[in-house]
C-alpha cells in the first residue's frame, strides 16, 4: 500500500516534470536580452563620444607622430624615437584607425545621425555631419585614399572599398560619393531646421550654441578648401569666396572648435596624460629646433608653450642619439597645451581655431586672389594666437612694435606664404596634424632633416602606411604604399 | 548478500549452459581474495569447449564436466583468471585475486553511470586518488600532468593558485571554451577563470578547480571524446573530467579515519643562466641609468668603482644572485582529515582540509579550507537518498605581472652590476618607490608590496538525489546539483604605481552559480529476444541554469597614501561597472545499451538541447552517437597466456554547442578612449559629469545557429601475459563546423568583428597507453605506465575572404594569437623577418642588420608535436617509489621575458665572446637579384639587439621540455609495527615535483602562459617562472 502510493506519486511527478518542461520552455528560455548594455541610447550620450573621439584622433598618437616629424618634439624613447627618425610602418596607428577614427568618432557620429533622425533632431545630425566630415578629413589627410562612401556600414559592407582622396574632397556623382564640402553644407543646413531635442552641456565644444556650430562648419569649409588649394585652386577659390561672402565663420577665439577636457583622472586631455602622467611621459620632449625657431623670432609665446623646469630650456635635437637629460629637467608641453596647474589636463583640444581661419584667409588672398587684406589677416592670426597663449595685449603691441619684419608680409607671394605658414605653424603648437598638413601642402616652414634619419629613403614621411591589420582584413587595401608616397593634394 | 541491480547487471555474464548428457557434476565456491566473500557472476568454463556456467549470488556454482581430464577456467571482470584441473575432486573452491592491471574495471561515465570498461566503445582513462595525492602539489590539474593520454595540461606560472589550462583531444572550438566540463560527485563544477583585469597586465586568478583538495579524491575518470560525453550535452564537447571524492562506499560496516599531512617547500625552478662578466651600460661604456648590461667588462682598468645615478661611488662588480634573491622560498602545508563509514545500505563521509601556501614571490599566497559532509542511504520504504555538501573558502594573493610597469616587467631589465636587493627601495617619507633605473617605473620589490591582487572565494556545492525502484528493472531518480560561489576581489595599485601613478583600487565582487536538475529513468532487462542479450535504457531530462554577476567599484586618483587600500580613498569612480549573465538550457537525452554475451556491445545515445543563448527559431538542436565494442578473447575463447585480452572499439558522435550569452544583438556601452599612453572614460568630468555611450565593436547576429563537432574514433585494448602488459590505442578524428565566432572585419566598417557561424577545424590524433609489469615477485613489483599523445589540429577555413582572425582575448597589436587557414589553432601572427624565396634571412648590405620585417605573418605555433609521460613505480613490501618523466615535444612560446634579457645583455649567451664581432645569419641581396652570404661584422651588442626585440620573431622560442615531473617515495609501516597502536595504517613519504628539466630551446622553463587558462596559449608576457616543489608527507588511518 505504502509502496504503491510512492510509486504513484513518482510516476505523477515524472509526468508533470516532463510535460511542464515541454510546455513552459519558451518562457523559461526567453532570457537572452542583455541586462548589461543598452540596445539604443539617446543622441545626447553619443555626441560627446564622437567629439572626444575626434579630439583623441587629433591629439593622441597621431600628434606624437606629427609633432615629432614636424620638429616640434623630439623622441627620447619608444615610438617617438622611431618617428623622429622618420620611421613608421603598418604596425603604427592601428589604435587610431580602429578606436579613434572609424571605430571611435566616425561610427558614433553615424550612430548619432541615426539616433537623432529617429527623434527628429536635426540639431544633432547637423553637428554630427560637420564633425564626421572633419574626422574623415583626418583619415584621408593621413592615409590618402581611404574607405569613405562605403565605410561605417557595418554588416552591409564588411570590406569597404577605398575612395580616392580627390573623390572624398570633391565628391563623385557617378560613384555616389558625397564630397566633404557637401557633407559639411548638409550639416550646416540641418542646424537651421526645427529640432525636437537640442544639445546642451553634452556639446563639449559650444555647450549647445548652434550658431557657433554654423560658424565652425563654414570655417571647416575654408580649411578643406585651403587643403586642396594647390591641386584644385579654382574649387578652393569658389568655396572660400562663398564662405567669405556669407560672412559667418569663426572670428573670435571663444568661437574655436575646441573640445573641452576635465582635470580629473579619466577626463584629461591626452597630451597632458602622455606628457605628465603615464609611464610613456618620458618618451618625448620639446625639440631644440622649435625652441630655437621661437627664440630667433623673440616670440613671447615660447615661455607659454614650453616649460623650463631648470629656469632655462633643456631640449634635445631631433634624431639625437645620446643620453637624454633626466625627465625632471626636460622642457615639455606647457599649460597652454596641457591645462593650468590648478586644473591640470583641462586644456581643450583645439581642432579648428580663429587664428587658423585668419591664416587660411591671408593665404587665400595671396594664393587664390580672394578679396581681402592679407597683411591684416596675417596680423590678426598672430594676435589671436598670442592672445590665446596668454600674451597680454600690451605685450603683443610691444612685440609687434619691436619685431616689424616678423609681423609684416614682404617679398614675393611665395615668400609671403612662407611667412604666413611659419606663423601658422607656431600658432598650431600642439596640433601636429595641421602643422604636417600645411608643411606637406606648402613645404613650409622650412625644416632641416633630422639627425640619424632613416625612414623609407631618408625623407620626412608624407603619409602614414596603411594599417597592417586593415590590409590583412580588407583586400581592397593596397600593400606597400610606404610613408614616402605623397597624397593627392600634396603636389609639390 | 544483496547486490544492487547495477552490480548484477555488470556481473551476471552467464555463458550459455549446455549441459552434457553424460558426465559428472562439480560444485564449489568462488571467493574474493581480498574480502573472503563469495563472488557472484564468475564465469566457469570447461576448457576447450563452450560449456560452462556462472556462480550464483553467493559465489556458488555447479557444473557438469565430461571427464577427469577436464580443466575449468574461472573468469571474472576485474580479476585474474584461474585454471583448475578437476581430477577426481567433486568440490573445487577457488579464490580470485584482483587483477592489478585493472584492464577490466568499473568506471564512472556520463551522468554518473558506472560501467564495465570493456563495454565501452570509446576511450576513457582513470586515475586513482593515490596517483595524485601526496605529490607536493595543491592543484589537482597540475597533479594530473603527464598521467593521461590525450590531455594537454599547462600551468600558467609559478604563482600560487595560478590557473592551469587543460585541453582534451585538442581545440575544437574557435571561440567557445575548450576547457573540459568538470563533474565532481555528479555536480557540474565550475572551473572557470574570471579575468577581471587585462590578461596582458594583470595577476593570475585561479581557475576554480583549485577549490578541490587533491587528497579528497578517490578517482578521476577522463571522458575524452564526444561519444563518451554526449549525455552531458553541449558543454561536454571539450571532454569531461569526472571526479569522484571519497564517499565511504564499500566500507562494509566499518568506519575509517584518514589523516593526511604534508609540509612542502618550493623554489623558483629554472631562471635563465646569466652572464656575470659585464655590467651596466651600453657599447662598452658604463651608463648609470642604463637598464642593460652592455657596459665594460668587470676588472677593466679605471672601472674599479663607478658613480651611480644617485651619486654614490660603488664597486663595479657582478651581483650574480640579484635576480634569484628577488624570489623567496615558498612553503605550503596541507592537512586533511577524512572520516568515512557505512554498510551496504548506508554510508557517510565527512572531510576537513586545509592548505596554507606562501609563494615564491613575496606577498603571494594561496589558502584553502574546506569541509564536506555526505552520505547515501537506502530507506526501508525502498527510496534511495544520497547527497553531499561542501563548503570551501579559498583566498589568493598575487603579484601584478606583464610588460613594463610591473615587478616582472622590470626584473628582466636589471643590469648584472645592479645591487637590486641590497638597496633601499622605499622612500620613508612619501612611501613611494626609490628606483633609479627607470624614472617612470618602480623597484620590483616596491611593486610586489604595493601592486597586488587579492581574491577571496566562498563556495558551496552539493547534490541531492532521490531514487526509487518502481520495479526490479525500472528505476527513477531525480538529482539536483548546485554550485555557487562569490569571489571578493581587490586589485590594488597604490599611489606611485607605474600603471596608475595616482593610484587605483578595483573592489570587485563576482558571483557564479549553477543549478542542475536531472531526471533519470533507467530500465534494464536481461535475456531479451534471445538468451545473453541484455539491454538497458536510460531516459533523462536536464534543466540547467547558470548565472554570474560581476560588479566593481574602481576608485582612482587616490588621496590617502600608504596602505589604506579602501575605495573611500578615491576621488574618481567612473570606471565602476556591473555585468549580469544568465543562461538556461533544457535537455532531453536517452541512451540504449545492448550487451550480447559480454563480448559484443552497442550503445546508442542522443540528446536534444534547447538553449536560451540561441535565437528562438534555431535554439533546439539534436545530436546522436553510436559506439560498439567487441571482445574477441571472450567471444572466441582465446586460450593463450600470451594474448589474454583483446577488445576493439569504434564510435561516431556529434555534439552541438550553443553560444555565449547575449551574442544576438549589437549593443552600446559606456564610452572610453585610449590605452596606457593616455585614456579617458565617460562620464567625463567637464563642469558636470557628461555621460557618453559608444556602439560596441561587435556586430550581433540574430540568426546564430549552434556549432557542431563531429567525431570518429577507433581503438583497441590488448592484454598480454595475463595482462602484465597492456596496450590501449586510440585514433580519433574530429571536425568542428559552424563555429560561433566573432570574425574579424575591416575596421573601416565601423566595427571590429561580427558574430556569425563560420569555418571548419579538424583534429586528428592518436593516444597510446602502455602498461607493463616487468618484474613481479611476492615482495617486489616494478610497474611501467606510458602515455603518449599526438594531436594534429588544423584550421581548414574561416570565412570567405578571411584568412586569419584574432582569437577573442587580450593581445598586443602586432602580436596576435589567431586562427589562420592552414595552420593549427592559436598561432601568433606578428612581424616575421624578411626572407628570400630560398628562406634565407635578408640582411641590409649597409648596416649588417636585418631588413625591415614583414607584418602579418604566422611566427609562432604553440601546439605541441607530442606529449608523453612515463611513470615507473617500484614497490618493495611497504616501500614504493614512483617517478614520472614527461616530454612535451615541440610547440613554441612567445617570450617577452627571455628576449628582453637577451637583448639587454643579461643572459649568459650574450657574455660569450662579447668582445668578438659577430655576423647575423642571412644573406645580402646583390644588384643582379642574387644573394651573397652576410659578411658584415657587428658588435655583440648590435648582434643581440638586431636579432630582434619584443615584437619580433626573435621572441619566439622552442618550448620542447624533457622533465622529471614528479617523484614520490612512500613507506607504509608494516602491520606488525603498528598492531598495538590505534592506527590501522601509517605511511610516510617524500615527494618532489619539477625536479629536473632539459629545455634545449628555451633559457628557462617553457611551461608558462601569462594569459592563463583559456584559448590563448604559448605567451610569456613577463610572467612568473615555474617552481620546484619538495615535500614530506604523512598519512595515518584509524
Neighbours of B258 (CB within 10 A): 18
> Cβ contacts (< 8 Å) between B691 and chain A: which residues?
44-45, 48, 202
Mean pLDDT of chain A: 94
Range of the structural domain that residue B974 is part of? 140-269+328-665+700-826+861-891+959-1037
CB contact under 8 A, B571 and A271: no
Cβ-based neighbour number of residue B773 at 10 Å: 18
Contacts of B611 in chain A (CB under 8 A): 29
CB contact (8 A) between residue A265 and residue B502: yes
Q: Do residues B402 and B348 share a domain?
A: yes
What's domain A43-251's architecture?
Alpha Horseshoe (1.25)
Q: How many CA atoms lie within 13 A of B242 on its CB side?
A: 21
With an 8 Å Cβ cutoff, are A468 and B677 in contact? no
Name the minimum distance, in Å, from the CA of A486 to any CA of chain B. 21
Contact A31/B at CB under 8 A: yes
Give the residue-averaged pLDDT of B457-463: 96
Same domain, residue pair B530 and B411:
yes
pLDDT averaged over every residue in chain B: 89
**Contact B439/A39, CB-based, under 8 Å?**
no
**B318 domain residue, yes or no:** no
Predicted confidence (pLDDT) at residue B238 exceeds the cutoff of 70: yes
Q: How far is CA B18 from the centre of its chain?
A: 52
Q: Tell me, yes or no, whether B381 and B506 share the same domain.
A: yes
* CB-CB contact of B343 with B253 (8 Å): yes
Instruction: Answer whether residue B157 is part of any domain.
Output: yes
Q: How far is A49 from chain B (nearest CA, A)?
A: 5
* DSSP 8-class letter at A98: I
CATH number of the domain enclosing B433: 2.40.170.20
Tell me how far apart the alpha carbons of residues B954 and B946 are, in angstroms, rounded to a whole number: 9
pLDDT at A16: 58
Q: Encode B841-865 in three state secondary structure.
A: EEECCCCCCECCCEEEEEEECCCCC
Give pLDDT, residue A1.
41
What number of other Cβ atoms are within 10 A of residue A99's Cβ?
Answer: 23
CA distance B7 to B4: 5
Q: In this model, does residue B683 exceed pLDDT 60?
A: yes
Per the domain annotation, does B930 fall within a domain?
no
| Contact list, B678 vs chain A (CB under 8 Å) | 56, 60, 268, 270-274, 277-278, 280
CB contact under 8 A, B692 and A29: no
Q: Which residues pair with B631 in a beta bridge?
A: none
pLDDT band for A22, please (50, 70, 90 cuts). low
Give pLDDT, residue B14: 30
Residues of chain A neighbouring B685 (CB-CB closer than 8 A): 262-264, 266-267
Q: How confident is the model at residue A5 (pLDDT cuts 50, 70, 90)?
A: low
C-alpha distance from B250 to closest chain A C-alpha (Å): 27
- Select, from the ranges A130-134, A452-456, B716-720, the one with the highest average predicted confidence (pLDDT): A130-134
**B822 and B710 share one domain:** yes
Average pLDDT, integer, range B865-893: 95
Taking CB atoms and an 8 Å cutoff, what residues of chain B touch A266? 556, 572, 574-575, 679-681, 684-685
Q: 3-class SS at B1011?
A: coil
* Residue B944: other Cβ atoms inside 10 A: 24
Contact between B667 and A104 using a beta-carbon 8 Å cutoff: no
* Other residues' Cβ atoms within 10 Å of the Cβ of residue A129: 26
B869 plus B744 within the same structural domain: yes
Q: Which residue of A has its CA nearest to B611?
A: A29
Split at pLDDT 50, 70, 90, the class of B230 is confident
Q: At what angle do helices A43-59 and A61-69 cross, to 10 degrees?
A: 30
**Is the pLDDT confidence value at B912 over 70?**
yes
pLDDT at B101 > cutoff 60? no
Mean pLDDT in residue range B195-218: 88
SS3 A383: helix
Cβ-Cβ contacts under 8 Å, B666 against chain A: 39, 154
Is A27 touching B (CB cutoff 8 A)? no
Summarize the confidence of residues A37-58 as an average pLDDT: 97
Chain B residues touching residue A160 (CB < 8 angstroms) = 746, 748-749
Is the pLDDT reported for residue B15 higher than 50?
A: no
B980 band by pLDDT with thresholds 50, 70 and 90: confident
Please indicate, yes or no, whether residues B482 and B603 belong to a single structural domain of this protein.
yes
Beta bridge partners of A238: none
Output the pLDDT for position B251: 66
In sequence order, what are the residues at sequence separation of 6 or more whose Cβ sits closer than 8 angstroms to the Cβ of residue A144? A165, A463, A481, A485, A487, A488
A342 touches chain B (CB under 8 A): no
Helix/strand number for chain A, H first, E second: 23, 4
Predicted ipTM of the assembly: 0.94
Query: How far does chain B reach from its first CA to its final CA, in angstroms?
Result: 27
Average confidence (pLDDT) over A199-219: 98
Separation between Cα atoms, residue A321 and residue B793, nearest integer Å: 47
The enclosing domain of B13 has a CATH number of: 2.60.40.1120
Which one of B747, B810, B818, B847 makes the best mutation probe of the A interface by having the most chain A beta carbons within 10 Å? B747
pLDDT band at A432 (very low <50, low <70, confident <90, very high): very high
DSSP A101: I
Quickly count: other Cβ atoms within 10 Å of residue B47's Cβ.
Answer: 17
CB pair distance less than 8 Å for A38 and B692: no
Closest CA in chain B for residue A146: B748
Query: CB–CB of A263 and B685 under 8 A?
Result: yes
Task: Determine the distance in angstroms separating the CA of B387 from the nearest CA of chain A, rounded to an integer.
Answer: 19
Task: State the CB neighbour count (10 A cutoff) for residue A30.
Answer: 12
Angle at B433 between CA B428 and CA B435, to 5 degrees: 120
Mean pLDDT check: name the lowest of A420-434, B211-225, B430-444.
B430-444
Domain count, chain B: 2
CA–CA separation, A424 and B656 (whole Å): 64
Nearest to A279 among B289, B498, B682 (CB): B498
The residue in chain A having the minimum alpha-carbon distance to the alpha carbon of residue B471 is A7
Q: Is B9's pLDDT higher than 50?
A: no
Phi, psi of B276 (to 5 degrees): -130, 35
Cβ contacts of residue B80 below 8 Å, gap of 6+?
Answer: B96, B97, B98, B99, B722, B723
3-state secondary structure (DSSP) of residue A121 = coil
The span from the CA of A116 to the CA of A110, in Å, is: 10
Domain membership flag for residue B291: no
Q: With CA atoms as reference, report the closest residue to B811 among B1007, B545, B663, B1017.
A: B1017
- A4: contact with B, CB 8 A cutoff: no
- In the prediction, which pLDDT does A6 show? 58
Which residues on adjacent β-strands are paired with residue B689? B685
Task: Count the neighbouring beta carbons within 10 Å of the beta carbon of residue A446.
Answer: 9
Distance from CA of A200 to the nearest CA of B (A): 10
Chain A CB contacts of B405 below 8 Å: 279
Q: How many beta-carbon contacts under 8 Å exist across A and B?
A: 296
pLDDT at position A341, please?
92
Q: Is residue B12's pLDDT more than 50?
A: no
Q: Chain B contact for A161, CB < 8 A?
A: no
CA A290 – CA B921 distance, rounded (Å): 42
Q: What is the number of H-type helices and E-type strands within chain B? A: 9, 57
| pLDDT, position B26 | 86
pTM of the model: 0.86
Angle at B9 between CA B3 and CA B15, to 5 degrees: 115
Q: Which residue has the higher pLDDT, A489 or B4?
A: A489
Q: Is the pLDDT of residue B814 over 80?
A: yes
For residues B449 and B363, the answer to whether their CB atoms sit within 8 Å is yes
Q: Tell me how close the Cα of B719 comes to any Cα of chain A, in angstroms.
A: 44
User: Hey, is the C-beta of A468 within 8 angstroms of any chain B C-beta?
Assistant: yes
Asked whether residue B649 is domain-assigned, the answer is yes
**Backbone φ and ψ of B172, nearest 5°:** -115, -5
Residue B744, SS3? strand
Residue B5 pLDDT grade (very low, low, confident, very high; cuts 50, 70, 90):
very low
- Asked, for residue B88, whether it belongs to a domain, the answer is yes
Mean of the pLDDT values across residues A129-142? 98
B69 band by pLDDT with thresholds 50, 70 and 90 = confident
**Interchain pair A38, B667: CB under 8 A:** yes
Angle, CA of B854, A161 and A50, to the nearest 5°: 90
According to DSSP H, which parts of A24-102 are helical?
25-29, 43-59, 61-69, 78-84, 94-95
pLDDT score for A355: 98
Q: Which pLDDT band, with edges at 50, 70 and 90, does B225 fall under? A: confident
B661, B690, B696 member nearest A48 (Cβ): B690
DSSP A154-218: GGG-SSPPPBPHHHHHH-BTTTTBPPHHHHHHHHHHHHTS--SS--STT-TTTTT-HHHHHHHHH
For residue B669, list chain A residues with Cβ-Cβ distance below 8 A: 37
CA-to-CA dists, residue B626 to A59, B86, B592, B602, B943, angstroms: 63, 43, 10, 7, 60
Residue B600 has pLDDT above 90, yes or no: yes
Residues B250 and B340 in one domain: yes
Closest residue on chain A to B805 (Cα): A473
Nearest chain B residue to A202, by CA? B690
Answer yes or no: do A103 and B287 touch at CB < 8 A: no
| pLDDT tens profile A311-348 | 999 999 999 988 889 899 999 999 999 999 999 999 99
Question: What is the per-residue DSSP string for A239-287?
Answer: HHHHHHHHT-S--SGGG-EEE---SSTTSS-HHHIIIIISTTTTSEEEB
CA distance A92 to B529: 74
| B610, B666, B748: residue with CB nearest A160 | B748
CA B324 to chain centre: 28
- Does some domain include residue B802? yes
Q: How many CB atoms lie within 10 A of CB B532?
A: 18
Q: What share of chain A is helix, strand, coil (3-state, %, to 5)?
A: 55, 5, 40
**CA of B441 to nearest chain A CA: how many angstroms apart?**
7
Q: Is A263 on the interface with B (CB under 8 A)?
A: yes
Together in a domain, B145 and B91: no
Amino acid at each position: 500500500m505504502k509502496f504503491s502510493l510512492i510509486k504513484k506519486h513518482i510516476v505523477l511527478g515524472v509526468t508533470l516534470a516532463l510535460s511542464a518542461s515541454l510546455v513552459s520552455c519558451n518562457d523559461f528560455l526567453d532570457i537572452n536580452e542583455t541586462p548589461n548594455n543598452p540596445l539604443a541610447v539617446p543622441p545626447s550620450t553619443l555626441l560627446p563620444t564622437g567629439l572626444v573621439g575626434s579630439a583623441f584622433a587629433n591629439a593622441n598618437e597621431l600628434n606624437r607622430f606629427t609633432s615629432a616629424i614636424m620638429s616640434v618634439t623630439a623622441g627620447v624613447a619608444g615610438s617617438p624615437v622611431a618617428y623622429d627618425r622618420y620611421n613608421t610602418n603598418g604596425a603604427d596607428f592601428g589604435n587610431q584607425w580602429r578606436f579613434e577614427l572609424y571605430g571611435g568618432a566616425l561610427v558614433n557620429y553615424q550612430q548619432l545621425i541615426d539616433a537623432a533622425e529617429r527623434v527628429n533632431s536635426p540639431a544633432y545630425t547637423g553637428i554630427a555631419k560637420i564633425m564626421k566630415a572633419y574626422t574623415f578629413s583626418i583619415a584621408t589627410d593621413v592615409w590618402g585614399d581611404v574607405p569613405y562612401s562605403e565605410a561605417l556600414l557595418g554588416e552591409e559592407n564588411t570590406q569597404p572599398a577605398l575612395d580616392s582622396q580627390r573623390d572624398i574632397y570633391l565628391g563623385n556623382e557617378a560613384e555616389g560619393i558625397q564630397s566633404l564640402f557637401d557633407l559639411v553644407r548638409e550639416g550646416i543646413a540641418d542646424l537651421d531646421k526645427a529640432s525636437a531635442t537640442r544639445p546642451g552641456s553634452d556639446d563639449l565644444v559650444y555647450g549647445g550654441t548652434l550658431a557657433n556650430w554654423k560658424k565652425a562648419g563654414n570655417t571647416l569649409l575654408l580649411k578643406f578648401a585651403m587643403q586642396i588649394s594647390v591641386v584644385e585652386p579654382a574649387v578652393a577659390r569658389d568655396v572660400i569666396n562663398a564662405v567669405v561672402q556669407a560672412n559667418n565663420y569663426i572670428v573670435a577665439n571663444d568661437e574655436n572648435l575646441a573640445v573641452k577636457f576635465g582635470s580629473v583622472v579619466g577626463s584629461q586631455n591626452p597630451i597632458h596624460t602622455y606628457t605628465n602622467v603615464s609611464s610613456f611621459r618620458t618618451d618625448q620632449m620639446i625639440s631644440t629646433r622649435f625652441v630655437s625657431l621661437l627664440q630667433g623670432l623673440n616670440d613671447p609665446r615660447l615661455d607659454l608653450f614650453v616649460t623650463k623646469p631648470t629656469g632655462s630650456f633643456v631640449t634635445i635635437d631631433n634624431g639625437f642619439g645620446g643620453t637624454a637629460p633626466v625627465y625632471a629637467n626636460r622642457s615639455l608641453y606647457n599649460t597652454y597645451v596641457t591645462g593650468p596647474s590648478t586644473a591640470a589636463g583641462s586644456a581643450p583640444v583645439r581642432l579648428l581655431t580663429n587664428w587658423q581661419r585668419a591664416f587660411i584667409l591671408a593665404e587665400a588672398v595671396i594664393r587664390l586672389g580672394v578679396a581681402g587684406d592679407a597683411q591684416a589677416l596675417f596680423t590678426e592670426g598672430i594676435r589671436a594666437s598670442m592672445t590665446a597663449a596668454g600674451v597680454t595685449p600690451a605685450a603683443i603691441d610691444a612685440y609687434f612694435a619691436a619685431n616689424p619684419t616678423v609681423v609684416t608680409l614682404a617679398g614675393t607671394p611665395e615668400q609671403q606664404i612662407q611667412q604666413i605658414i611659419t606663423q601658422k605653424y607656431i600658432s598650431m603648437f600642439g596640433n601636429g596634424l595641421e602643422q604636417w598638413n600645411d608643411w606637406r601642402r606648402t613645404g613650409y616652414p622650412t625644416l632641416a632633416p633630422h639627425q640619424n634619419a632613416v625612414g623609407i629613403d631618408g625623407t620626412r614621411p608624407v603619409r602614414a602606411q596603411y594599417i597592417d591589420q586593415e590590409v590583412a582584413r580588407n583586400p581592397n587595401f593596397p600593400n606597400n604604399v610606404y610613408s614616402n608616397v605623397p597624397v593627392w593634394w600634396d603636389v609639390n | 548478500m544483496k547486490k544492487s541491480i547495477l552490480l548484477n547487471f555488470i556481473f551476471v555474464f552467464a555463458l550459455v549452459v549446455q549441459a552434457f548428457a553424460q558426465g559428472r557434476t562439480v560444485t564449489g565456491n568462488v571467493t574474493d581474495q581480498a574480502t573472503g566473500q563469495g563472488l557472484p557472476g564468475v564465469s566457469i568454463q570447461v576448457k576447450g569447449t563452450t560449456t560452462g556456467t556462472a556462480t550464483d549470488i553467493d559465489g556458488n556454482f555447479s557444473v557438469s564436466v565430461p571427464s577427469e581430464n577436464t580443466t575449468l577456467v574461472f573468469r571474472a571482470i576485474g580479476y585474474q583468471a584461474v585454471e583448475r584441473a578437476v581430477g577426481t575432486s567433486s568440490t573445487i573452491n577457488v579464490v580470485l585475486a584482483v587483477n592489478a592491471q585493472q584492464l577490466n574495471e568499473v568506471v564512472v561515465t556520463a551522468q554518473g553511470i558506472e560501467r564495465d570498461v570493456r563495454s565501452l566503445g570509446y576511450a576513457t582513462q582513470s586515475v586513482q586518488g593515490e596517483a595524485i595525492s601526496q605529490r607536493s602539489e595543491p592543484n589537482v590539474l597540475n597533479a594530473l600532468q603527464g598521467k593521461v593520454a590525450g590531455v594537454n595540461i599547462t600551468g600558467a606560472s609559478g604563482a600560487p593558485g595560478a590557473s592551469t589550462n587543460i585541453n582534451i583531444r585538442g581545440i575544437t572550438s574557435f571561440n567557445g571554451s575548450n576547457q573540459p566540463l568538470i563533474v565532481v560527485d555528479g555536480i557540474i563544477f565550475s572551473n572557470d577563470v574570471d579575468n577581471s583585469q587585462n590578461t596582458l597586465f594583470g595577476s593570475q586568478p585561479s581557475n576554480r578547480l583549485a577549490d578541490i583538495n587533491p587528497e579528497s579524491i578517490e578517482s578521476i575518470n577522463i571522458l575524452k571524446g564526444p561519444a563518451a560525453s554526449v549525455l552531458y550535452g553541449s558543454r561536454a564537447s571539450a571532454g569531461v573530467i569526472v571526479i569522484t571524492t571519497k564517499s565511504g562506499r564499500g566500507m562494509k560496516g566499518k568506519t575509517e579515519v584518514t589523516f593526511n599531512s604534508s609540509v612542502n617547500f618550493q623554489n623558483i625552478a629554472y631562471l635563465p643562466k646569466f652572464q656575470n662578466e659585464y655590467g651596466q651600460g651600453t657599447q662598452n661604456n658604463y651608463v648609470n641609468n642604463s637598464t642593460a648590461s652592455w657596459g665594460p667588462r668587470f676588472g677593466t682598468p679605471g672601472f674599479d668603482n663607478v658613480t651611480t645615478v644617485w651619486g654614490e661611488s660603488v664597486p663595479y662588480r657582478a651581483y650574480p644572485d640579484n635576480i634569484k634573491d628577488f624570489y623567496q622560498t615558498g612553503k605550503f602545508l596541507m592537512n586533511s582529515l577524512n572520516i568515512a563509514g557505512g554498510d551496504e545500505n548506508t554510508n557517510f563521509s565527512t572531510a576537513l582540509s586545509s592548505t596554507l601556501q606562501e609563494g615564491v614571490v613575496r606577498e603571494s599566497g594561496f589558502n584553502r579550507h574546506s569541509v564536506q559532509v555526505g552520505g547515501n542511504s537506502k530507506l526501508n520504504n525502498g527510496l534511495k537518498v544520497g547527497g553531499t555538501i561542501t563548503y570551501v573558502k579559498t583566498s589568493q594573493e598575487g603579484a601584478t605581472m606583464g610588460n613594463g610597469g610591473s615587478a616582472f616587467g622590470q626584473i628582466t631589465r636589471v643590469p648584472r652590476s645592479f645591487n637590486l636587493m641590497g638597496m633601499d627601495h622605499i622612500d620613508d617619507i612619501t612611501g613611494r618607490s626609490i628606483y633609479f633605473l627607470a624614472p617612470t617605473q618602480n623597484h620590483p620589490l616596491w611593486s610586489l608590496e604595493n601592486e597586488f591582487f587579492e581574491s577571496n572565494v566562498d563556495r558551496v556545492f552539493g547534490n541531492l538525489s532521490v531514487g526509487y525502484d518502481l520495479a526490479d528493472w525500472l528505476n527513477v531518480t531525480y538529482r539536483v546539483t548546485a554550485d555557487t560561489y562569490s569571489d571578493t576581489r581587490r586589485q590594488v595599485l597604490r599611489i606611485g604605481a607605474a600603471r596608475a601613478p595616482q593610484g587605483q583600487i578595483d573592489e570587485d565582487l563576482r558571483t557564479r552559480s549553477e543549478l542542475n536538475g536531472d531526471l533519470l529513468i533507467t530500465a534494464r532487462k536481461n535475456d531479451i529476444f534471445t538468451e545473453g542479450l541484455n539491454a538497458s535504457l536510460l531516459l533523462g531530462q536536464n534543466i540547467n541554469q547558470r548565472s554570474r554577476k560581476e560588479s566593481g567599484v574602481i576608485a582612482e586618483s587616490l588621496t590617502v597614501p600608504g596602505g589604506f587600500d579602501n575605495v573611500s580613498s578615491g576621488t574618481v569612480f567612473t570606471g565602476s561597472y556591473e555585468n549580469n549573465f544568465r543562461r538556461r538550457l533544457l535537455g532531453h537525452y536517452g541512451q540504449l545499451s545492448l550487451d550480447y554475451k559480454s563480448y559484443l556491445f552497442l550503445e546508442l545515445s542522443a540528446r536534444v538541447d534547447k538553449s536560451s543563448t540561441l535565437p528562438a527559431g534555431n535554439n533546439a538542436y539534436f545530436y546522436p552517437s553510436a559506439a560498439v565494442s567487441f571482445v574477441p578473447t571472450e567471444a572466441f575463447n582465446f586460450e593463450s597466456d600470451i594474448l589474454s585480452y583483446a577488445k576493439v572499439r569504434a564510435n561516431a558522435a556529434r555534439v552541438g554547442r550553443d553560444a555565449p550569452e547575449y551574442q544576438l544583438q549589437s549593443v552600446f556601452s559606456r564610452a572610453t578612449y585610449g590605452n596606457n599612453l593616455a585614456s579617458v572614460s565617460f562620464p567625463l568630468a567637464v563642469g558636470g559629469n557628461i555621460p557618453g555611450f559608444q556602439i560596441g565593436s561587435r556586430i550581433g547576429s540574430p540568426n546564430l545557429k549552434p556549432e557542431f563537432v563531429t567525431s570518429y574514433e577507433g581503438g583497441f585494448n590488448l592484454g598480454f601475459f595475463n595482462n602484465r602488459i597492456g596496450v590501449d590505442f586510440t585514433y580519433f578524428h574530429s571536425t568542428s563546423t559552424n563555429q560561433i565566432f566573432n570574425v574579424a572585419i575591416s575596421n573601416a566598417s565601423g566595427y571590429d568583428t561580427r558574430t556569425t557561424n563560420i569555418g571548419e577545424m579538424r583534429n586528428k590524433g592518436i593516444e597510446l597507453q602502455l602498461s607493463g609489469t616487468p618484474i613481479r615477485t611476492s615482495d617486489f613489483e616494478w610497474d611501467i605506465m606510458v602515455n603518449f599523445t599526438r594531436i594534429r589540429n588544423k584550421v581548414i577555413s574561416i570565412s570567405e575572404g578571411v584568412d586569419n582572425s584574432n582569437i577573442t582575448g587580450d593581445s598586443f597589436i602586432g602580436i596576435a594569437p589567431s586562427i589562420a587557414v592552414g595552420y593549427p589553432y592559436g598561432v601568433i601572427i606578428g612581424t616575421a623577418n624578411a626572407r628570400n624565396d630560398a628562406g634565407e634571412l635578408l640582411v641590409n648590405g649597409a648596416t649588417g642588420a636585418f631588413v625591415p620585417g614583414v607584418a602579418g605573418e604566422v611566427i609562432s605555433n604553440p601546439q605541441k608535436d607530442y606529449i608523453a609521460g612515463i611513470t615507473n613505480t617500484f614497490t618493495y613490501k611497504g616501500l614504493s617509489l614512483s617517478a614520472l618523466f614527461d616530454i612535451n615535444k615541440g610547440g613554441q612560446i612567445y617570450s617577452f621575458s627571455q628576449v628582453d634579457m637577451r637583448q639587454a645583455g643579461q643572459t649568459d649567451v650574450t657574455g660569450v665572446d662579447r668582445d668578438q664581432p659577430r655576423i647575423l645569419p642571412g644573406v645580402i641581396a646583390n644588384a643582379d637579384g642574387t644573394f651573397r652570404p652576410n659578411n658584415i661584422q657587428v658588435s655583440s651588442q648590435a648582434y643581440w639587439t638586431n636579432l630582434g626585440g619584443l615584437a619580433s620573431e626573435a621572441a619566439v622560442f622552442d618550448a620542447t621540455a624533457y622533465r622529471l615531473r614528479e617523484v614520490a617515495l612512500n613507506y607504509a609501516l608494516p602491520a606488525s609495527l603498528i598492531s598495538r597502536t590505534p592506527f590501522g595504517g601509517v605511511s610516510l613519504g617524500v615527494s618532489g615535483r619539477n625536479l629536473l628539466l632539459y629545455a634545449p630551446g628555451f633559457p628557462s622553463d617553457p611551461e608558462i602562459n601569462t594569459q592563463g587558462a583559456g584559448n590563448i596559449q604559448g605567451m610569456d608576457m613577463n610572467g612568473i617562472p615555474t617552481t620546484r616543489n619538495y615535500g614530506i608527507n604523512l598519512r595515518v588511518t584509524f
